[in-house]
Amino acid sequence: MFMRVGLLFLMSAAAVATEKPETLQSVWQGEGELGFSLTDGNTKTNNFNGKLKLLHTLPVWENTYIVEALNESQNDDTSAEKYGISAQSNKKLEGPNFLFSLMTYEKDRFSGFSYESTVSIGYGRRVLETEKTVLDLELGPGYRLSKQNLPLSSSQDEAILRLGCKYNVSLAESATFSQTLSIDSGEERVVTKSVSSISSSIVGNLAMKVSLSIKNNSEPVQISNEKTDTETSFTLVYGF
């Protein structure tokens, strides 16, 4: 699977290499998020969540890389532990159209899966763009690889159809609302993810962010697993 993803990004890099030197412009941007809480006394809790996002913009290509982690514990017992990475490469076409390739990997200790990974390619279109609002839609085929935790320890691999949506709107000079939605639909199960967030600038490149993440798995591994997981986070964001 990772060989396939590697080939997609190698093809992207090869295409970039063919650009004329005088027109090649490379711009890197990024932001880091960090949230942490600690309580002591009758109940001891620790909560940490972090995220790093890098955006690499070229004349024809736009590449996005994301690494994120979540860890929670109560009275020294881990109650949540999740890690994820993703990489997406968009090739700009004429007008508002683009092609995309996407790879995701997630390891959630309490999901019933040892890991879940997807790779997909497809067509995207910027259906709305104003001074304050941007809306992108994506659609394409893909493949999902999942390995269930012990004692089942079995793989669940299948073809999927991916639908993606990214929406950003400026609420004020220093406040932004963002919404991302993805649906990975396969024969065995459908995985839906939604992330809603509001960020507000504090000073300079520092901002405060409140987000709500919802993940729904239509067919949990075990009866004891919930279909829907929700996560509310408050983080500080530094842009660079």
Total domain count, the chain: 1
Q: How far is the C-alpha of 209 from the C-alpha of 88, rounded, in Å?
A: 23
Q: What is the pLDDT of residue 103?
A: 97
* pTM score of the predicted model: 0.84
Q: Which helix (DSSP H) or strand (DSSP E) does residue 61 occupy?
A: strand 61-74
Residue 175: name the closest of 208, 130, 213, 131 by CA.
Answer: 208
Is the bond into 151 cis (omega within 30 degrees of 0)? Answer: yes
Domain contains 131:
yes
Q: Which long-range contacts (CB under 8 A, 24 or more apart) does 173-179 make?
A: 174/200, 174/201, 175/199, 175/200, 175/201, 176/200
> Average pLDDT for residues 48-69, to the nearest whole number?
96
Domain contains 113:
yes
Q: What is the pLDDT of residue 150?
A: 64
187, amino acid identity: E
Look at residue 21 and tell me whether its pLDDT is greater than 60.
no
Q: Which helix (DSSP H) or strand (DSSP E) does residue 66 occupy?
A: strand 61-74
Top pLDDT among 156 and 239 is at: 239
Domain contains 20:
no
Top pLDDT among 21 and 163 is at: 163
**Which structural domain range is residue 201 located in?**
2-14+26-239
Look at residue 1 and tell me whether its pLDDT is greater than 60.
no
CATH number of 57's domain:
2.40.160.40
